[in-house]
Structure 1
Amino acid sequence: MLPDDLVMETCLLAGEIMLRSGGETYRVETTMAMIAQSAGMESVHSFVTPTSIIFSYRSGERSLTRMIRIPERTIDLNKVTMVNQVSRSVVSGGMAIQEAYRRLQEIDQEKRQYPNWLQNLAAGVASGSFAVLQGGSGYDLLPTAIAGLCVNISSGYFQQILRIKFFAEFMSAFLGGLIVYCFCLLFPVLHLNLMIIGAMIPLFPGLAVTNSLRDLMAGDLIAGISRGVEALLTALAVAVATALILSFGR
């Protein structure tokens, strides 16, 4: 692999990991540009959206341009932090580009910092606690935690089957609401409205909204609007599922 091609592969891999792991658009562009410029590349330009990366630079008389697609995204801010550390090491001269590429490959292959069972358990605890914080009783805690746990587990499962995020989130929200509704039928003392709100906590697009606002303020209008629409669709899926469940109790 030619040195120029290695720089391109390193930059694209760094950007892909960050974007796929929930990194902001401006952070992806800055990281790729810093790595390329530290390797001596000129006229470095990038165009990043939530689903694609276009990157180009000039090395002597040779110009390189590449584009990659990012079909799936998740949230793993630990990987974003590790890629940032690699880019800082490259810029400071403490890591060669070959070593940086190998390290990025290792980061890409690493499993998530927290196992799935722990993430699902945390989602359940957050759901139950939120219902209580909103004014629910202690009786609402466990049923809402169970519903939130099921929502978090089913979200990934439905997305693998349906391949359309909106419908996967709708099905997960509907399942969580249905579990809460069944608990309320069995135990009328429970608070249906508060429990439904708590059960939907794992689906709330907090990071998408934050990144959307950050991209818009930074001037990345396409990326900001795209993330905002993505968050809006998630909220719409949750709202429709919730409305259906509440209509059962009329």
Structure 2
Amino acid sequence: MRGKHEYERRRRELVAEPDAEDRKPQSDEARSAFAPPGRDEGDSAATSEFLSPTAVRVPPVSGTDSSTTSEFAVPAGLDVPSAPAAEPETTSEFALPQGLEARRPHAAEPEGSAFSPPSTYTAGQAPPVFTPPSGIPAVRLTKEAPWQDRMRTMLRMPVAERPAPEPVHKTGESAPAVPRVLDLTLRIGELLLAGGEGAEDVEAAMFAVCRSYGLDRCEPTVTFTLLSISYQPSLVDDPVTASRTVRRRGTDYTRLSAVFRLVADLSDPDTTISLEEAYRRLAELRRNRHPYPGWALTGASGLLAGAASVLVGGDVIVFIAAALGAMLGDRLAWLCAGRGLPEFYQFTVAATPPAAIGVALTVAQVHVNASAVVTGGLFALLPGRALVAGVQDGLTGFYITAAARLLEVMYFFVGIVIGVLVVLYFGVKLGAQLNPDAALNVSERPVVQILASMLLCLTFAVLLQQERSTVLWVTLNGGVAWSVYGAMHYPGGLSPVASTAVAAGLVGLFGQLLARYRFASALPYTTAAIGPLLPGSATYFGLLSIAQAHVDKGLVSLAKAASLAMAIAIGVNLGSEISRLFLRVGSAKGRRAAKRTRGF
């Protein structure tokens, strides 16, 4: 009974004191040196030996199990009222005070790239080009104008300022693949560049092919051995770039004319050529054989050398000797080419037989003009085509390609110099009486020289593998050029450089007009026509003077040869530019679009 009464008494005490459980003595782990000021001595709360004598009691926060707090707690009366149903008040010291929070924007756009299209942009209704702040110049080119002029005008403009493209007229394929169009463009440009076409015309042709298939925002780039083209549909799309290396070069103006006809057909808005048809025609161009066989080329080189020897005062014997020397040199060069020797050695070997025949005639004391024999053989070797193309690229702003072409010409010329100098050196040692001043005694035979110049142009056209329909035109053009040169130099008394420049300018003018009339390349009408104007005699007499230890006189003659070569190249280019200057290429307001890299 006693135990029962004790249990009842204890239960009543617990009911009367609900917080009695809180006054249980705490363990040593619950005590902290940073406990708040304690209660009375009778309390069982945690205390510290660092408590101040005057203890301040902090009322416990409601809803907590323990009154143990930190000394960094906010004193009573300074509490920041918490929001109802809020998270625990433990926050960062960098948090903004309540009431100063920045408002978040509603429906913020996600962060993206600077090249991402705007939210209002749709690919289906996108404009073909982006209008620049200054507006798009009004460039109106008639469809009757050659495609070279139309493409050059647009190439010289920035991409953003080019006029809107014409509607795509290709119906064979709804949407040709961009990589295939770029590949076709590069293959066409490779044939043009390997055939000796200028860099500006190659870029114009490449741009015409891309534009004909709807790729108007493209940038072709042409160097001496590398072709590349980049196409970017818009400012927010990734560009597509392709390139091709030109490893082999060959002179075939028949193939060059066929490529120009293909580009003209692709650029014609009234002609529909699918991508597959264009590939088929391009494959046929590559498979076509040269129009003239090998024996015809060898015979043409001999006739060219004979005609050139007559221009500088040779007779029948000189004609035959020069022809034999040139044909022998041509065969030796073909033999070296078949063995894989570089062109430098081919030119060196080809220059040896004409010089050797001339020296042999002099040693044998045959009464002929041996200098004319050597000069005629040099005419067939001088790289006039590469020289004109190199200077033309430099004048039109393609300086890298021009430097490479002129460096190639220099190597060919050095090869010719070495071959001739070796023969002349041994000829002088053998007692050959060669006269460096024989060039001053060239007889004036106008009719014979005009006929010889026309024969030279005809054979030069055969060596260039020209079409038979263009041989007559280039022959007449060369005859006119030599007539103008002879009239200005011999009766008129003008310097050879000035006379050569004027004659070459007429060659370029007439050649460009003929090319525009037939919508073809101007090279077949100009390259062979400058053959009679090439500085063969000045080159030979300069080398002869050096071989006879007259270095000063030899350098003067070689400088004259270089001046004549530059006069030919500049004259041909100037004649072509004059023909474009006076022909209509667009409206007067849009003519500023035809500017090149720099100008006024």
TM-score, length-scaled by structure 1:
0.91
Q: 2: distance between equivalents of 1:227 and 1:122?
A: 26
Q: 2: distance between equivalents of 1:40 and 1:154?
A: 50
Q: 2: distance between equivalents of 1:57 and 1:157?
A: 44
Which residue matches 1:66? 242
User: Do the aligned residues in 1 keep the contact of 2:326 with 2:353 (CA within 8 Å)?
Assistant: no
Q: For residues 90-105 of structure 1, what are the structure 2 equivalents within 5 Å?
A: 90-93=266-269, 94=271, 95-105=273-283
Q: 2: distance between equivalents of 1:62 and 1:99?
A: 29
> Does residue 223 in structure 1 map to residue 397 in structure 2?
no
Deviation larger for 53-62 or 29-38: 53-62
Q: Which structure shows the bigger proportion of residues in helix conformation?
A: 1
Q: 2: distance between equivalents of 1:99 and 1:148?
A: 43
- Identify which of structures 1 and 2 has the higher relative contact order when contacts are C-alpha pairs closer than 8 Å and 6+ apart: 1
Which residue matches 1:53? 227
> Does residue 174 in structure 1 map to residue 352 in structure 2?
yes
Provide the secondary structure at the position in 2 that maps to 1:33: helix
Q: 2: distance between equivalents of 1:18 and 1:47?
A: 14
Shift of the alpha carbon at 1:127?
0.1
Percent of aligned pairs with the same amino acid: 22
Which residue matches 1:132? 310
Structure 2, gaps ≥5 residues long = 1-175, 429-600
Q: 1: distance between equivalents of 2:350 and 2:370?
A: 17
Q: For residues 193-208 of structure 1, what are the structure 2 equivalents within 5 Å?
A: 193-208=371-386
Cα distance, 1:182–1:72 mapped onto 2, change above 3 Å: farther
Which residue matches 2:324? 146
Which residue matches 1:79? 255
Cα distance, 1:202–1:124 mapped onto 2, change above 3 Å: same
Q: 2: distance between equivalents of 1:135 and 1:142?
A: 14
Which residue matches 2:284? 106
| Deviation by residue 1:32-63 (Cα, 9 ceiling, x = unmatched) | 11100111114311221222212222357453
Shift of the alpha carbon at 1:154?
2.5
Shift of the alpha carbon at 1:155?
2.3
User: Do the aligned residues in 2 keep the contact of 1:4 with 1:59 (CA within 8 Å)?
Assistant: no
What is the identity, as a one-letter code, of the residue corresponding to 1:70? Answer: V
> Does residue 159 in structure 1 map to residue 333 in structure 2?
no
Shift of the alpha carbon at 1:106?
0.8
What is the identity, as a one-letter code, of the residue corresponding to 1:231? Answer: V
User: Do the aligned residues in 1 keep the contact of 2:351 with 2:378 (CA within 8 Å)?
Assistant: yes
| Deviation by residue 1:177-213 (Cα, 9 ceiling, x = unmatched) | 2344345445622322211111122211111111111
Which residue matches 1:211? 389
Which residue matches 1:24? 198
Shift of the alpha carbon at 1:162?
4.2
User: Do the aligned residues in 1 keep the contact of 2:354 with 2:373 (CA within 8 Å)?
Assistant: no
What is the identity, as a one-letter code, of the residue corresponding to 1:135? Answer: G
Structure 1, gaps ≥5 residues long = none
What is the identity, as a one-letter code, of the residue corresponding to 1:202? Answer: A
CA RMSD of aligned residues (A): 1.9
User: Do the aligned residues in 2 keep the contact of 1:173 with 1:200 (CA within 8 Å)?
Assistant: yes
Shift of the alpha carbon at 1:98?
2.0
Which residue matches 1:4? 178
Q: 2: distance between equivalents of 1:34 and 1:228?
A: 28
User: Do the aligned residues in 1 keep the contact of 2:326 with 2:350 (CA within 8 Å)?
Assistant: no
Shift of the alpha carbon at 1:105?
1.3
Q: 2: distance between equivalents of 1:70 and 1:179?
A: 38
| Deviation by residue 1:68-106 (Cα, 9 ceiling, x = unmatched) | 221221211221111111111111141223211211111
Q: 2: distance between equivalents of 1:102 and 1:62?
A: 30
User: Do the aligned residues in 2 keep the contact of 1:21 with 1:73 (CA within 8 Å)?
Assistant: yes
What is the identity, as a one-letter code, of the residue corresponding to 1:33? Answer: F
User: Do the aligned residues in 2 keep the contact of 1:140 with 1:191 (CA within 8 Å)?
Assistant: yes
Provide the secondary structure at the position in 1 that maps to 2:278: helix
Q: 1: distance between equivalents of 2:276 and 2:340?
A: 39
Provide the secondary structure at the position in 1 that maps to 2:241: strand
Which residue matches 1:36? 210
Which residue matches 2:425? 247
TM-score, length-scaled by structure 2:
0.40
Q: Give the number of the structure whose alpha-carbon radius of gyration is greater.
A: 2
Provide the secondary structure at the position in 2 that maps to 1:200: helix
Shift of the alpha carbon at 1:143?
1.2
| Deviation by residue 1:130-170 (Cα, 9 ceiling, x = unmatched) | 11210122211111101111222322331332432212211
Q: 1: distance between equivalents of 2:232 and 2:300?
A: 47
User: Do the aligned residues in 2 keep the contact of 1:23 with 1:77 (CA within 8 Å)?
Assistant: no
User: Do the aligned residues in 2 keep the contact of 1:152 with 1:202 (CA within 8 Å)?
Assistant: no
Q: 2: distance between equivalents of 1:25 and 1:163?
A: 27
Q: 2: distance between equivalents of 1:183 and 1:75?
A: 34
Q: 2: distance between equivalents of 1:51 and 1:208?
A: 14
Which residue matches 1:233? 411
Q: 2: distance between equivalents of 1:86 and 1:31?
A: 10
Q: 1: distance between equivalents of 2:394 and 2:334?
A: 29
Q: 2: distance between equivalents of 1:51 and 1:189?
A: 49
User: What is the number of residues matched between the two proteins?
Assistant: 249
